[in-house]
Structures are given as C-alpha cells and as structure tokens.
Amino acid sequence: MIVDYTRFYAGRRVLVTGGLGFIGSTVARQLVALDADVHIVDALLPECGGNPFNIDGVEGRIRVSHADLRDRAAMHALVRDCDVIFNLAGQVSHIDSMRDPYADLEVNCLSHLTLLEACRHVNPHAKVVYAGTRQIYGRPDSLPVDESHLVRPTDVNGINKAAGEQYHLVYNNVFGIRACSLRLTNIYGPRQLIRHNRQGFIGWFIRLALENKTIQIYGDGSQLRDFVHVDDVADAFLRAGTSDACNGQVFNVGGPEPISHRDLTTMLIEAAGSGQVAYIEWPTEKKAIDIGSFYADSSRFRQATGWTPSIGLREGLASTLAFYRAHFDRYVNVAAQERA
Amino acid sequence: MIVDYTRFYAGRRVLVTGGLGFIGSTVARQLVALDADVHIVDALLPECGGNPFNIDGVEGRIRVSHADLRDRAAMHALVRDCDVIFNLAGQVSHIDSMRDPYADLEVNCLSHLTLLEACRHVNPHAKVVYAGTRQIYGRPDSLPVDESHLVRPTDVNGINKAAGEQYHLVYNNVFGIRACSLRLTNIYGPRQLIRHNRQGFIGWFIRLALENKTIQIYGDGSQLRDFVHVDDVADAFLRAGTSDACNGQVFNVGGPEPISHRDLTTMLIEAAGSGQVAYIEWPTEKKAIDIGSFYADSSRFRQATGWTPSIGLREGLASTLAFYRAHFDRYVNVAAQERA
C-alpha cells in the first residue's frame, strides 16, 4: 500500500541530518511545505555542502542544531522524539577521501554508527532513510545497473558510503530500526555546492557555464550518466520515509534517461547562453579510476513507492541556472563572506 | 606462473599483523620454517585471539612488536622495510561487534587504513595479503558461494571486514600497493582462542568435547559448513604472498567439502572420546541472524595459485584435540595466569 505522503508529514517530527546541505535542505523545504515539524542537524563541516542560505525564507519554520553526528550525547538528544530521520549528512568527495581517508571514515562511517546507536538506545521506533550512492557499484558490468549489481567501490569514499548503508540495513534487521537506503545517481539543481569542483562535476559545469568559462571534458564525451533533479530526489526521500515496504531495502534512484557528457554540455551551454567546451586527453591518474558509462535502473523504487522523476533535464537546468544567477554570491564566495 | 613459495621466503622481510593470533602465528611458524625474517606486530587486545604461547618454540627466531595498528608512527616504522605483509590483525567476534560497534570500527577499519596509508607513504612496493571472511556474503543465494556472490553482511563485524578488504583493493588499484584478500570460511586447528565462545563455534565445540561437556546445536543440525585446517590456510597465505596474479583480487579459501553440524559434532565426539550433543530450539534472536548453510567455491584461488587443502577433517580434528590436551591451560585460563 502506498501512503499518501503529502498528508503523512503534517505535524510529524522529522530530523534531517546534513540538513543545510544540497539535498538535505531541499528535503527540509519540502517538509516545511507539508507542515512537518522540521529539525535540522548540520555540523557545517568545512568543504562539505552545508550552507545556511539553503534554508533562506523558511528559517523561521525550522529548528537548526549545529551538532556533529559523531557527538554521542548530542545525537541521543536529537533522535529521542523523532518520527522520521532523513540521514543526509556525509562527505561526498572521492578526491578528499583519497587525500584524507581517516576523515572520510569518521564522517561516513562513525557518524552513521553514532546515529544508529542513538536510535537503538533511545528511539528504536524511528524510521531512517539513508542517502546512499551509485558510487559504490564502481565500474558497471552492464547497463542499466540494478540493485543486484556487485558493490565494488573504486575509492575510499565509496567503501565508507557502502559501509554506512550496510549499518542501516543491519540495524533494521537486528534491532528493528526501520531503515532503508536510496542509492542516488548524479543529482543537480539549486543549492548544490559550487565553490569547488570536488562534489560532483555537474554543479561545477553549471558554474563554469555561468561564468562563461571553458568546461573541460576528458576524452570524447561519449560517457553516459543519468541526472536527477534535486526536487525529484527529495520527493523520493519523502516517499521512502512513509513506506514500510522499503524497510531493510536498497533502491536505486536515478534520472529519467541517460545522456552523454557531450550532449549534457551542449544543452547546458545553450541553456546558459554562455560557456564553452574543450575536449582534452584523459589524465592518466583519472583514467585509472574512471568507471565509464553509468546509468541506473530505478524500477524497483518506482514499483515500491510510485515515485517517478518529473523534471526533465532541459527544464531543470534552466531553473537551476536561474537560481544561481539570482544567488551567485551566496554559493561562490561563501568563505570570504563568512570571514567578512 | 606459479612461484615456488617454499623457496621465495628465505631471507625475505615479512611482517605478520595479528601474528600472535590463531592464523597469524601459524603463518609466522611456517615462515620461520622457510627461513624468512619474521616480524610480528600484535597489540594483544583483550578478547581477541593473541596469545604469546602461540609462538612457543620459535620465539627466538621472530621479532615481536607490541604495537597497535592504529598507531600511525609505529606502523610507519614497522612497514618501512617489509617485502610482504600478512595482514591478519582484527576483531572477529560478530557478537562483540554488535555490543560495541565503535570498537569494531576502529579495529577492523581504522587499523587497516593506517597500515595501508603507512605503505602508501613509506613502502608502496610492499605486498599485502589481507584476511577476509566469508561472513561478508551473509545468507547465500545459492551454494557453493563463489566470489561473484553479492556482499551482504548480517552484522557490524561483517560490514567492517568488507570495508577493510575493499581498502586493500582500492590501494592496489589507485596507489599500486600490491594487495589481495583471502575470504576465509570456518578455520580450525591448534592455537585458536577457546577461552570464550565468541570467536567461531568450532573452537568452542572442541573445548566442550575435551571437557566432556554438552555441545548445544540449534535446530536439527542439518546446516552445512566447510572447515579448513589452519595449516592449509597458512599455506594459502604464503602462496598468495608470492603471486602477483592475485593482486587486486579476492579469493574464497574454503574447506575440502561441506559437512553438517550434526556430522561434525558426531565426528568430534568420536575423535575426542568425550562430550555429548544436545539439539535445542533456535533462540529467536539467533534465528533472526542465522545464514543457513554455507560452503565456498574456492576454485578461483586453486587455479591462481595451485593451492589445495591437504588436511582432512577427521585427521585435523584428531591432531587439534591432541594439541589442546597437551596445552589446555595455555588456552583456557590465560587471563587468570596473566594476573598470577
């Protein structure tokens, strides 16, 4: 049975970890629109995606706690009364994970263990939806990739994200904490970090196009990816949060259809009316960890929850560009602003 | 090409982490017999399997460092000059991992990251063989289980052991540290921890038989497992340590043939001439995490290295029982002795 999630959240106590980040803030904003009692926890770790401006306009309707998920006492207090937890805190840069694997382990494994231990001890009835990632599949054996594909991460970040996901499933199976994971493909849209290029290339390409700079594509740009708009992703989280059929399960959440880097860049530059593209040789060290084409089969999640991505890429890119044009300074020179 | 490993190790500098433990000490003893320059590092963590008596008789030919793998400075010094590292340190109790998941994360993830980071920075030419586990497969979809089976751990220990394995593969692929993992099934033999029942049931059953106590079997005892003698496992490590064909790969290392709990117990009690068996109802919380029957297909490793298990179960149990009869006090009241 599919619950009407647009009514489910009214008055519910919902915790969003990493709630000042890209996806977390989008989930929080949708929850506000559904009259949920929204509580964000975000440590605003440097280099991660947290940005207080992401809840601009709704800050009066959201409680925000600046706490670290690794803080056991804080987590006990935060999860105590929650009905639903959207667990979006994390470090997503594979480059950073290879530079400092210890930090990645803390943020992507220890944090989630701490959250789940808190649920186990003070709120085993919570429902938890974890933000997984397609990264854990590594280089696909065949396309599209469904959930029966081997997990074979190519970097420390992927390994730790996979472990983080598995903790949720084990706590579901052993301790009865209702948990599931959504394995997200490439997400784009407003409120993504575009200060640096280590959190997904799509946000970075959008920034380069807006600044009328050159987007560099490795190789011939024939690689395929599927892109999902962040509003559709937030919708997926809200659906998973109401569905006990999802408990103990993992689901791919991917875009409507795959597109090549070449076609994506052409579409982006057209939509922006600025930017150029240059095709360059693969740097050796990048080629070594390249996974080739990837796109997900999300039919399992569609069947379980009725979800379907509703925003086409052309339309989604246009509104994303408009958002960043209106708020460019809030996303680019953030550190400089904060120092000022 | 398969290297003659019986000659390879003479004079080589070999580090064995967890080298005072069950498998580690057996590897170290075989290396001594092959005239290797053996260095053991073991933190002798309480409740893990380290036991100084395990190198009784060869202690004069092995250097032993009591250091923790999480100690970055110590690990830099220890790995600097090694040719081969057998990485057997770890916490293997799934029960302990569910009681204290934080400790399991430290011992099974942070430790291995620290070792691999040390190799990356001071000895990227080292060869590393990691002790993986069949536990990471969880409940098998079909039998026998080969390496293409999904990794789906049922407890925190399995998750962290899987992450530890994957770090080795990523450091192989990205940083060129030659590493592989042997996924071990149920290991038995001399020098296993039998002080408590949280490190594999086989050692515990052996102790109960020796003490003429009752071995409790859940259900009807029809579940299958494959058992490998620790001498065969050590042989597998030595072979993997010489084979660059293994780099970046995972291999099952299982026993000659599966046997039911019922037949195993009968064989054990016969061999011991003591002990009884009682079949009892599955405790609910055990049944919830039971994986049913398991046995491994090890043909991939056999083909890669020529390895084959040479010790039959009946013969192996007899010599194991003889070992513990001769040294029972060294393995049972160890803590009491150490306090004395």
- C-alpha–C-alpha distance, residues B241 and B130, integer Å: 10
Cβ contact A145:A252 at 8 Å: yes
* B289 interface with A at CB cutoff 8 Å: yes
CB pairs under 8 A between A and B: 75
Predicted local confidence at residue B117, as pLDDT: 98
Q: Closest to B174 (Cβ–Cβ): which among A98, A148, A163?
A: A98
* A119 interface with B at CB cutoff 8 Å: no
Give the mean pLDDT of chain B.
Answer: 94
Give the DSSP letter of residue A208: H
Contact yes or no for A167 and B156 at CB 8 A: yes
Higher pLDDT, B333 or A13: A13
Q: What proportion of chain A, given as a percentage, has pLDDT over 70?
A: 97
Contact yes or no for B148 and A150 at CB 8 A: yes
- C-alpha–C-alpha distance, residues B174 and B176, integer Å: 6
Contact yes or no for A153 and B159 at CB 8 A: no
Q: How far is CA A304 from CA A77, A240, A300, in A?
A: 32, 9, 6
- The CB density around residue A219, as the number of other CB atoms within 10 Å, is 15
What one-letter code names the amino acid at A85?
A: I
Measured between CA atoms, the residue of chain B closest to residue A70 is B102
Contact yes or no for A154 and B170 at CB 8 A: yes
* A165 interface with B at CB cutoff 8 Å: no
Q: Nearest CA to CA, how far is A290 from chain B (Å)?
A: 11
| Beta bridge partners of residue A251, listed in sequence order | A182
Q: Provide the pLDDT confidence category of residue A94 given band limits of 50, 70 and 90.
A: confident
Q: B176-210: per-residue pLDDT in tens? A: 999 999 999 999 999 999 998 888 899 999 999 99
Contact yes or no for B110 and A102 at CB 8 A: yes
Q: Nearest CA to CA, how far is A43 from chain B (Å)?
A: 20
Q: Closest to A102 (Cβ–Cβ): which among B102, B113, B162?
A: B113
Contact yes or no for B148 and A151 at CB 8 A: no
Pick the closest to residue B155 from B223, B101, B76, B215 (CA basis).
Answer: B101
Q: State yes or no: pLDDT of A3 exceeds 70.
A: no
* A170 interface with B at CB cutoff 8 Å: yes
Where does residue A179 fall: left (phi above 0), alpha (psi -120 to 50 degrees), or beta otherwise? Answer: beta
| Full DSSP string of A162-188 | HHHHHHHHHHHHHH--EEEEEEE-EEE
Q: A20-71: per-residue pLDDT in tens? A: 999 999 999 999 999 999 999 999 998 888 999 999 999 999 999 999 999 9
Higher pLDDT, A253 or B95: A253
User: Which chain B residues are closer than 8 Å to A289 by Cβ?
Assistant: 173-174
Predicted local confidence at residue B3, as pLDDT: 64
**Most confidently modeled of A4-13, A91-100, A157-166, A287-296?**
A157-166
Interface test with B, best of A117, A159, A160, A250 (most B CBs within 10 A): A159
- The CB density around residue B48, as the number of other CB atoms within 10 Å, is 22
Q: State yes or no: pLDDT of A228 exceeds 80.
A: yes
Q: State yes or no: pLDDT of B336 exceeds 80.
A: no
Burial of residue B57 (number of CB atoms within 10 Å: 0-12, 13-18, 19+): exposed
- C-alpha–C-alpha distance, residues B75 and B71, integer Å: 6
Q: A296-323: per-residue pLDDT in tens? A: 999 999 999 999 999 999 999 999 999 9
Predicted local confidence at residue B340, as pLDDT: 41
Query: Residue range B259-266: average pLDDT?
Result: 98
Structural domains present in chain B: 9-339 (3.40.50.720)
Q: Provide the pLDDT confidence category of residue A6 given band limits of 50, 70 and 90.
A: confident
Beta strands in chain B (DSSP E): 13-17, 37-41, 62-65, 84-87, 127-133, 178-184, 186-188, 214-218, 224-229, 250-253, 258-260, 276-280
With residue B157 as reference, give the H or E element that holds it: helix B156-175
* B167 interface with A at CB cutoff 8 Å: yes
- The CB density around residue A289, as the number of other CB atoms within 10 Å, is 15
